[in-house]
Structure 1
């Protein structure tokens, strides 16, 4: 029996390349989720053992129906790639007319990038719990953030805020889900080639910083394998600790990014309470 992968934002870019890689391995059945029917059907036809399911990740009921139909078909889900996201095209800092109330800020991408990720994570958690045991290793949930989720980005501040949210979501859920046999990690790529979203972005990104999409896909496969992993600085994370990790993907290397250090004991104890670690230690 093949393992089952669900990929949001699976009809182009990183999502599509990961889908192709999984399907070609022969071990996976892949479901591509996207909002554009034509592009989705074309993507599915290009991949054996892949099918397209139309849904807007920001609309919970639509996405939930797709997850439920996938589970009804296979009785299992082994990997969810919460990858759907859009770029920020509006100028957040643009001056507005002096008279009257300015138009609403560009919040539509927040619904896709952040609300969509929360919807996807929530549904993945539910159907992972209902699924049979994985055929090998653990179940996996990988979220796509960005270099803009690690560092400030004045050019796209709303996009950056959503991607910071993805990192926070990953770190907040990973400990609990690890206890249920689910490995949760986030990838934070820079500018991926050929998944560049606009000509303007490509012009701003010299060739030496562009990341081959195959490198990102290869790293996703390594996370799914769950073996010990060593980053570009020689930091090795053993298989038993390969969860709740944030991986910044640079041009030809990746780096584990730790959460901020605590500056005093009070901060550390507050965080332990927020993570319910006191409850775990006392039980």
Structure 2
């Protein structure tokens, strides 16, 4: 049995590192998506079980056509890593630019939301469509993983639109995880700190100390733990059984990783309101 993975932003950095580990296991057929044809072909060339597809994640049609092609080839989908992302360089971005008179120009950095948030949501939407068409026996072992950021948990004054998009991915994961688990899909998000990837530009290195930078293999290790289906224990000893590993948000910093819960309930009304907000479609149908 060959498992099938789709990784956006898979031609370099964390996406490629995960692809390489899956490829070398011999258990997976891996499809990496990226915009740069040359880089993608060079990334896939030394890998035996990996195919590159030139795709711009900001184009829904390009993503949809590629997902459909992959599914028609394999008739199954087991793992989707919504990993494609971009950080502005230099980090202090045009959103804070000052303009003396007249109507200011549209912020140039708005494309960050299209890549980091909208593109990822489209990836998830397509993943669910093809998970549903996969063999029934794959239910419970289908994985949708979103690559958020430490900037999706804490504010970042240097790159506010990047942080906003990554916060959105955390909220999306927590919002859809319960409903999609009823369909046998485990949706989780990872929130790495400053990872040593091609996105770590010289300008960013000047801001983020070497002490806090994370090797890519630390992140890949967490991804593989999630895919294993086994119990995962974080650096504080919090244990999450494999069958409960969905709607989880995992912070990765240094050599450590932590399950991050949603904000506390301040009173009974807060708790009850949120409880009503989390009623799934099937629960609504059972109540009606």
Q: TM-score range by the shorter chain?
A: over 0.9
Residue 222 of structure 2 corresponds to residue 219 of structure 1: yes
Hey, what's the Cα distance between the residues in 1 that align with 2:137 and 2:14?
A: 24
Residue 274 of structure 2 corresponds to residue 266 of structure 1: no
Aligned to 1:7, what secondary structure does the other structure show? strand
Cα displacement (A) at 1:205 = 2.0
1:74-85, aligned counterparts within 5 Å?
74-85=74-85
Give 2:182's aligned residue: 179
Hey, what's the Cα distance between the residues in 2 that align with 1:62 and 1:231?
A: 37
Q: Is the 8 A contact 1:141 1:184 kept in 2?
A: yes
Give 1:231's aligned residue: 234
1:148-187, aligned counterparts within 5 Å?
148-187=151-190
Q: TM-score, normalized by length of structure 2?
A: 0.94
Q: Residues 195 and 234 from structure 1, CA distance in 2 versus in 1: closer, same or farther, beyond 3 angstroms?
A: farther
Cα displacement (A) at 1:195 = 4.2
Aligned to 1:204, what secondary structure does the other structure show? coil
Residue 245 of structure 2 corresponds to residue 242 of structure 1: yes
Q: Is the 8 A contact 1:14 1:195 kept in 2?
A: no
Q: Residues 108 and 196 from structure 1, CA distance in 2 versus in 1: closer, same or farther, beyond 3 angstroms?
A: closer
Give 1:63's aligned residue: 63
Give 1:4's aligned residue: 4
Hey, what's the Cα distance between the residues in 2 that align with 1:108 and 1:239?
A: 36
Residue 254 of structure 2 corresponds to residue 251 of structure 1: yes
Q: Is the 8 A contact 1:196 1:202 kept in 2?
A: no
Q: Is the 8 A contact 2:14 2:197 kept in 1?
A: no
Q: Residues 136 and 262 from structure 1, CA distance in 2 versus in 1: closer, same or farther, beyond 3 angstroms?
A: closer
Q: Please, which moves more after superposition, 258-267 or 150-159?
A: 258-267
1:29-44, aligned counterparts within 5 Å?
29-44=29-44
Cα displacement (A) at 1:282 = 4.3
Moved over 4 A (4+): 134-137, 280-283
Give 1:190's aligned residue: 193
Hey, what's the Cα distance between the residues in 1 that align with 2:139 and 2:256?
A: 27
**What whole-Å deviation, never above 9, does each CA across 1:64-84 have from its counterpart, x for those lacking one?**
000000000000110000000
How many matched pairs?
Answer: 282
Q: TM-score, normalized by length of structure 1?
A: 0.95
Cα displacement (A) at 1:53 = 0.8
**What whole-Å deviation, never above 9, does each CA across 1:133-175 have from its counterpart, x for those lacking one?**
4569611000000000000000000100000000011111110
Q: Please, which moves more after superposition, 87-96 or 47-56?
A: 87-96
Hey, what's the Cα distance between the residues in 2 that align with 1:55 and 1:43?
A: 15
**Structure 2 gap ranges (5+):** none
Q: Is the 8 A contact 1:44 1:51 kept in 2?
A: yes
**Structure 1 gap ranges (5+):** none
Hey, what's the Cα distance between the residues in 1 that align with 2:232 and 2:79?
A: 19
Give 1:99's aligned residue: 101
Q: Is the 8 A contact 1:247 1:257 kept in 2?
A: yes
Aligned to 1:95, what secondary structure does the other structure show? coil
Cα displacement (A) at 1:51 = 0.5
Give 1:279's aligned residue: 284
